[in-house]
Amino acid sequence: MEDAEGTATVYVDRDTYFPVQVVSQTSSEDFAHTSTVTYENITLDVEIPDETFELNLPDDVNEQETSMPDVSRHDSYDSLISDTNLAVPSADLPSDFRFDRGVVFENDDYHSVSLTYTDGEESVTVTARGEAISNVDHSDSDRYEAVDVGDTTGYVYTNDDFLTLYIEADQPYSIYGEIGEDTAVSIAEAIVNG
């Protein structure tokens, strides 16, 4: 539908300005489509009882409590590394990428640190995790290409917009950005080799 053209006409009530009808037309060389939606019996400014929003679960449903991670943002590299016990990359990475900002996520079940670096034009995000992403076997998927990262194997996913490189070393990392594979691998090697 890249060559399709469309218009929409909205008719509103003169007193309430609420839409009473929407007529849309879409056409291309291959088709023409018209749709009319009419709104009737609309009541405005009605009090809605609180019980309307109560969730009544069946008796056989088990509720599970989930906790959102604590999130702390850092503009300083020193502040970031003092807020985590994970090994994180240095403030400077290959290809002139320098630390810009970072975020620490932590709760009882999850701990990760995301560091964003920039070379002045592009940015790259490196995420260090306390443990591997569960149920993900990059080697078993056609989406990822295996690459050598020092003495370990990394897995690259690319599309037209970005690249992601996963490294399942002693501590898992991922690298994300609008960068080439060679740049990603050199960054990954610097991270893995410390």
Digit-coded pLDDT (tens) for 114-149:
999 999 999 999 999 887 766 677 888 888 999 999
Q: Specify if 127 maps to a domain.
A: yes
Domain count, the chain: 2
Q: Are 1 and 28 in contact (CB under 8 A)?
A: yes
Least confident of 91-95, 137-141, 158-162: 137-141
110 assigned to some structural domain: yes
Give the mean pLDDT of 38-45: 86
pTM as predicted: 0.65
Is residue 43, in this structure, part of any structural domain at all? no
Q: Which residue from 86, 96, 151, 147 is spatially nearest to 119, judged by alpha carbons?
A: 96
- Domain hosting 144: range is 70-192
Residue-level length of the chain: 194
pLDDT of residue 169: 74
